[in-house]
Amino acid sequence: MSFTLTFGQEGPCATAQVVWSVDGQTYNFRSDNNFIGWISTIFTVADVVNGGGGDLLISSDQLPPVQGGVGNLWAEYGTASSVVGNSRGVGAVDWQQFRALATQVASGDYATIGGGGYGTASGNYGTIGGGTNNTASADYTKVGGGKSNTASANYATVGGGNGNTASGSYATAGGGKGNTALSLYATVAGGSNNTVSGEYATIGGGQNNTASVYFATVGGGTGNTASGSYATVGGGGRRSYQHRIGYLRNGVWRG
């Protein structure tokens, strides 16, 4: 197999052109400043439409027209009948190769999807490390991996696991399954089916635990509830702590 790659311009003001030849078959692509790369022994070409320039697409097979962006780095995998993703955000990186919807791409500006499939990074600077069906939908959100996890408020983080949600700003769900961190700075470290709905509240682990008020804490166990401000349940089973301590917040006495 012979292979030749040639760079050139059509004129002094023309955009860059790339031409390559495989065993005598010549390929050329449009003058939109996009460079189309490839992986496989087939060396097939995907047509880039609405390209903004400075893009690198790595394709493993002939695809329908794909949406270009500006300064993107991304991969597409499939055949002419595959679902091709929408335009990526400015400077976005999207290495996932499988999607069921065209919206499952790194569409936020400078967003990143490191691998996996069926992920959506629609927030600016949002990051999905890998996994499947994960969503980073607000600015600076992060999902490390796992399955069906969602970080949907600015600076929220889900480390991994299955079906976890961080929907408060700066909230964190470390892992586990079915955990929810709903409020500002809420934290669920792990476990299953735990819910933190109070600001700055924390659940360390266990299952079916709830921390529903400011600064409430449940260390672990099962079926425990901390529903008073600054209330703490260390662990065990089916305990509820509602003692409230008065405090001043934003000039208003609460208790």
Q: What is the pLDDT of residues 8-19, one digit of tens each?
A: 434 444 443 444
pLDDT at 200 exceeding the cut of 90: yes
Task: State residue 10's pLDDT score.
Answer: 40
Residue that wins the pLDDT comparison between 107 and 245: 107
Task: State residue 87's pLDDT score.
Answer: 83
Read off the pLDDT band of 85 (50, 70, 90).
confident
Identify any residues that bridge with 35 across adjacent strands, giving them in sequence order: 56
CATH of 150-255, one of 3.40.50, 2.150.10, 1.10.10, 1.10.3470: 2.150.10
pLDDT at 79 exceeding the cut of 50: yes
Cα angle at 244 between 239 and 245, to 5 degrees? 140
Read off the pLDDT band of 175 (50, 70, 90).
very high
Task: Taking residues 22-49, report their average pLDDT.
Answer: 42
pLDDT at 36 exceeding the cut of 60: no
pLDDT at 77 exceeding the cut of 90: no
Residue that wins the pLDDT comparison between 242 and 153: 153
Read off the pLDDT band of 236 (50, 70, 90).
confident
CA 66/CA 76 separation, integer angstroms: 9
Task: State residue 37's pLDDT score.
Answer: 43
Mean pLDDT for all residues in the chain:
76
Give 72's contacts (C-beta < 8 A, 6+ positions apart).
54, 55, 56, 57, 88, 89, 91, 92, 93, 94
Residue that wins the pLDDT comparison between 213 and 242: 213
**Minimal CA–CA distance to 201: which of 189, 191, 190, 187?**
187
Q: Checking DSSP bridges between strand 217-218 and strand 202-203, what pairing results, if any? A: parallel
Task: State residue 12's pLDDT score.
Answer: 41
3-state secondary structure at position 109:
coil
CA 103/CA 117 separation, integer angstroms: 12
CA 57/CA 74 separation, integer angstroms: 5
Cβ pair 76, 69 in contact under 8 A: no
CA 166/CA 197 separation, integer angstroms: 11
Q: How far is CA 75 from CA 12, 105, 142, in A?
A: 32, 10, 20
Task: Taking residues 57-73, report their average pLDDT.
Answer: 52
Weakest mean pLDDT among 134-138, 167-171, 176-180, 217-221:
217-221
Give 91's contacts (C-beta < 8 A, 6+ positions apart).
70, 71, 72, 109, 110
